Structure 1
Amino acid sequence: MMAIRVLCLLLASANFAYADNNVPTIANDFVFTFFSAYRYPSDSVLLALVSNNNNKTANVVVTSPYSSFTTIRVSVAPYSVLKIPITPVSIQDQFPNYNNNGRIVVENKGIRLQSDLPVAVYAHSELNEGISADSFMVIPAIHLGMQYVAVTSTQPLESASNVIAVVAYQDNTKVTIGSQTVTINALQVASVASFAVLSGTAISGNKPFGVISGCSSGSISWDGGSGYEAVMLLPVNAWGTQFAAIPFLYLTTNYYQVVANTDHTVVSAGSTVIATLYAGEYRRFQIGAALISSNYPIQLIQIGQYTGSVNNDLGSPFFLQLPSTDRMSNTNVLFQPTGFFEDFDEPLVFVLRIVTNLAGSGKIQLDGSTINPLQFKHVPNSSFYYYETTTSNTTHSVSTNTSGTQYSVMSYTYGGGEGCGFVCAYSLPIGNPAATTTAKPPIQL
């Protein structure tokens, strides 16, 4: 089966002014890694995107212990997003050949990005011409945890791997992935690749670390498309119990995957129970716009899907980590939709979505203009609403005039031309999870 070509957009969101350590998207220090793309990893495009929402230039340095990596030093202008190419592409974990037996592989392929000003960081991977793409928000080092649960494709394409990739932040980090344990040093990566479903796999350690999981080419159904699926997991202590789930434009329903970390976790959509899960169990389900809730914290992933003949076959799988509603923001957000390759010389279509509780007399503004409340659609059986609009590939701002009104922002791209698709990455809204990591001394910027 042919992989549907997909194009990715990523949302960069942040405070306008200087941020503090309570803001999960904004920080000075990040660690992450890329797991290998499917089929043609040597043709990959790897990018780190840095969103500088300060009124001063941010000085950024990117390092890695990978033997072929050269330290990168760049400056990011105020209120802008900079794409930083990450080379060589062999820095991808388990590149070029997967060890698909499910055993841990250790490599020196972690990446560290530091900035002298608080920034937001996103990692993006795709094959040339927009094939098989996805991107994810990089969780700041100060918010890394010691306990995670993996999400991977429940239907990986034949010969494609599900992957769990752990990147250490400190030396002598003892990590357990499922039943396997290994000790790794700072910026080493311990990964597991398997044709089997790895969703629900528990990952724990003695020191804070980061985890990226997903699939090199996952699918929703065998007669649909496939695509790269990657997400940087939230630690269990940052999970939530309520989520606004909204299908993408041109779709009346979307697929989701939920994982639990507590026995007898009941997951519901409105008044309908979707699943009762034990710790380490997962469930994939399909639903329209709804408020998803649970009695214990869960991790919820929205999955892009093949859309058939709708708008020139726009659509392909991707992972989108939904934030819980208690992580919504009531401060100004600046973001920049960023498209990459256009296939078949067709223009990209950028879509913005704002989800809000519309509390009190608050108003939501997009680029300084108040959105008419009648333009918001209601999420059934909830106090949440959403606004969706197409836009150009420029920098945008969202704000509210009262602390009682909260919102989150996401953005996605439709690729142009037959055989192209869409994928999106979500910047988690500004919330207040507890910081769990003691920052390491910075390197010289």
Structure 2
Amino acid sequence: TVRVTMVGSPFVQTYNVPANSVVTTTPLPKAGLIDARLLIEGLQNKGILITSDVPIVVYAHCYGSASSGATMLLPTSSYGYEYYSLNTSQVYASDCFSWFYVVANENNTRVEITPSAATRGGRNANVPFQVTLNRGQIFQVLGAIQSGSTGFDLTGSRVRSVPNSAGECKPFAMFSGSSRTAICNTTNGDYMIQQVFPYTAWGRRYLTFNTATSTSASQFNPNTFRVMVRDANTVVRRNGVIIPPSSLIANRYYQFTATTGQYITADKPILVSQILPSTSGTAACAGGSIVGNGDPEMIYLSPLEQAIDRIGFFNTSLQAITRNYVNIIVPTAGLSSLLIDGSNTFNHSFPHPALAGYTCVVKITTPGQHIVTCDSAFTSITYGLGSVESYGYNAGTLIKDLSFTSSFNNQNSSLSVDSSTCIGIPFRFRLTTSYRLTGIRFKPSLINNVTPSTDTLVSNPPIVDSIEVDGVMFYRYSLPISYSFSQIGSYQFPIDLISPLIENCNNLQTIRARVIVTDRPYSNFSINTTGCTNSPVQFTATPNTNGFNINSYNWNLGNATTSTQQNPTVNYTAGGTYNVNLRIAAPNGCMGDTTRSFTLATILAPVNVVWDSIASGVNTVRFSWQAVAGAVSYQVSTDNGVTFTTPSSG
């Protein structure tokens, strides 16, 4: 069940989405008292809240006459603390603007905004200002018009979270685009919207290839690429050759056109966009002749560090789209396992021209849902082309914070890293960061079902290891606190990383370490016994494994002995009641145990009986024997049917 709400209005819609299907919502309102459009610069109560009772994939598509733009929407768990707007040149009309906006997921979210150019609302370039937003509120910034139909390009504008009145920094989302702009033209413009990746999700290695023409999957139009840097001293290479620092624009981005696939690398994180030109744009500007239908679009690309092995995306024919594509870049070794809607047949594929070992794949798609899977992680974009309109977006990506990784180990696990834990099983976090930490604060008080639940600050945590990856040093920390969960679920465990090298929000970054908690295996066993001592007792493990591969059986047999066999056989020499415990364990340390009792009777030593006749009696026999230790009575039986019991020897 999916619920769509416009914050600050009575607009609410509920949809039932069957598994592996797509539901298109009705268009958001754009008139009257409920108008979802963002028409001005400043603070607005128009955030769109989408919630679901199970994980979903969501895309936004804006369309109208000769206009179309789309973006993949990112979950709130991926929101960041620092963003940079990446736009395009702004040329179309005096009522069209380069823009960006931020949206808050939590109350009392305070941000600092530094526009890179003059804004329509009167803000000056490179002069920071702060605003506070509550959940669902939006603050939009519009680039001012320079003259005529040319507006300021807001690329390079910075927005970061700053401490609010309570001293807290909150994550938020950012979107960038244009209400309409032309690329390599002054007409044939189009709308653009993309959700921006937070700085911590930027990568250092990007592979690209161009968008196909509307007439052929094997013919490609020229594309423009922008490479955003946070640090002006970042060394950026294009196909192995350093881009001259003198070509850095506004101290924030490089721009170039290309007609073939590119391999873009940097020594610090970068953000890369791929821009489609206007129909009938000039070849000199675009870097080559523009063929077929389509219009401007801007797509943010995934770095190889954020590649993914399964995506779902949606293509449309609105408003007048006639051809849809998906472009995929996949390791060549995984090409045979690449399936698009279950098929390994593509319209065109070729080796990537700039990096051996990768293959470029083009597939013509139809309006509707599409699923791509592969044994190897890949990157991809999807786009649609029509008469003087187009749309496109990143078809699927990871949004990992690449400045750190978090993992954990369960107690008694034999694995180097555990992907999940179980109810009641203690575990400890391990963190790897690209900067040295002066403190780590665990905040279990903000989530449920965890023990201990008290927040803890670990000052100057010791580094247990370090490793260099692509020229960047990462430091590993193994933390001394054990936690456990009492309920099944997927938890986002909040942890504050503290370091003077974190350049935002009081030198503090809040991460959310994902912990998946499953049910544990349950121990059980059967006992097969004669009920007497000196007869083998067979124990047979019959656990409910709950899908775990049980690799450890530990028996406490109740007689001061143990066994690690799955089904041990034991001889007991003394009678009595025995409490037997079986603890089973999986490789990841998830375990279950149970105790059962059974009773054995003692088998006594044989009785040595002698007999003789009694002279004083007729047909009388006397039986006699020595007392047997442990016996409380004796029963005598003869073959003529005489039976009697006596409490002692005689």
Range into which the TM-score falls when normalised by the shorter chain: 0.7 to 0.9
Deviation per residue, 1:287-315 (Å, 9 max, x gap): 23111111111111111112429898512
Confirm whether residue 190 of structure 1 aligns to residue 139 of structure 2. yes
* Pairs within 5 Å for 1:11-26: none
Deviation at 1:198, TM superposition (A): 1.2
Quote the sequence identity (%).
24
Give the alignment partner of residue 318 of structure 2, picking from 340, 365, 377: 340
- Where 2:77 maps in the other structure, the secondary structure is helix
In structure 1, distance between residues paired with 2:99 and 2:334: 44
Output the CA distance in 2 between the equivalents of 1:361 and 1:136: 27
Question: Aligned letter for 2:395?
Answer: S
Output the CA distance in 2 between the equivalents of 1:363 and 1:204.
Answer: 41
Contact kept in structure 2, 1:262 and 1:278, CA below 8 Å: no
Shift of 1:60: 0.7
Alignment of 1:78-157 (within 5 A): 78-89=19-30, 91-95=35-39, 98-99=40-41, 105-127=42-64, 129=65, 131-157=66-92
**Aligned partner of 1:306 among 259, 278, 298:** 278
Tell me the TM-score normalized by structure 1: 0.74
| Paired residue type of 2:134 | N
Matched positions, count: 359
Q: Is the 8 A contact 1:156 1:215 kept in 2?
A: no
Task: Report the alpha carbon displacement of residue 425 of structure 1 after superposing the two structures with TM.
Answer: 1.8
Offset of 1:65 from its aligned partner? Answer: 2.4
Shift of 1:361: 8.2
Name 1:423's counterpart in structure 2.
391
CA contact (8 A) 1:166 1:191 kept: yes
Partner Cα distance (2:228, 2:398) in 1: 23
Distance 1:384 1:164, change over 3 A: same
The equivalent of 1:35 in structure 2 is none
CA distance in 2, matches of 1:421, 1:361: 32
**1:370 corresponds to which letter in structure 2?**
N
Identify the match of residue 5 of structure 2 among 63, 69, 73.
Answer: 63
Structure 1 position 172, deviation (Å): 0.7
Gaps of 5+ in 2: 115-127, 145-151, 162-168, 214-219, 282-288, 406-491, 493-509, 514-650
Corresponding residue number in structure 2 for 1:22: none
2:268 to 289, 292, 296: 296
Answer with 1 or 2: which has the greater Rg.
2
Per-residue CA deviations over 1:243-302 (Å, capped at 9, x if unaligned) read: 111111133421112211123112222023335359961232212311111111111111
In 1: Cα distance, 2:87 partner to 2:314 partner: 28
Give, in whole Å, the separation in 2 of the partners of 1:430 and 1:233. Answer: 13
The 1:335/1:193 distance shift into structure 2, 3 A limit, reads closer
Which of 232, 249, 252 is matched with 2:212 structurally?
249
Does structure 1 conserve the Cα–Cα contact (< 8 Å) formed by 2:63 and 2:318?
Answer: no
1:32-431 paired onto structure 2 within 5 Å: 59-67=1-9, 69-89=10-30, 91-95=35-39, 98-99=40-41, 105-127=42-64, 129=65, 131-159=66-94, 160-178=96-114, 179-195=128-144, 196-205=152-161, 206-250=169-213, 251-276=220-245, 277=248, 281-288=252-259, 289-308=261-280, 313-330=292-309, 332-342=310-320, 348-359=322-333, 363-371=337-345, 376-382=349-355, 383-400=357-374, 402=375, 405-415=376-386, 419-430=387-398
> How big is each residue's C-alpha offset from its partner over 1:385-423, in whole Å with a ceiling of 9 and x where there is no partner?
1111223224333223x4xx22233322221xxx43322
**3-state SS of paired residue (1:370):** coil
Letter in 1 for 2:275: I
TM-score where L is the length of structure 2: 0.52
Contact conserved, 2:68 with 2:318, CA < 8 A, in 1? no
* Relative contact order higher in (CA < 8 Å, ≥ 6 apart): 1
User: What is the alpha-carbon distance in structure 2 between the residues aligned to residue 161 and residue 186 of structure 1?
Assistant: 26
Asked whether the equivalents of residues 91 and 186 of structure 2 are also in contact (C-alpha less than 8 Å), the reply is no
Q: One-letter code of the match for 1:272?
A: V
When residues 438 and 112 of structure 1 are mapped into structure 2, their CA distance, relative to the original with a 3 A threshold, is farther
Alignment RMSD (CA, Å): 2.7
Output the amino acid matched with 2:354: N
Change (3 A) 1:111 1:367: closer
**Counterpart-to-counterpart distance in 1, 2:16 and 2:338:** 32
Give the letter for the 1:333 counterpart: I
**Distance change >3 Å, CA 180–CA 86, structure 1 → 2:** farther
Shift of 1:210: 0.6
Measure, in 2, the Cα distance between the counterparts of 1:263 and 1:300.
15
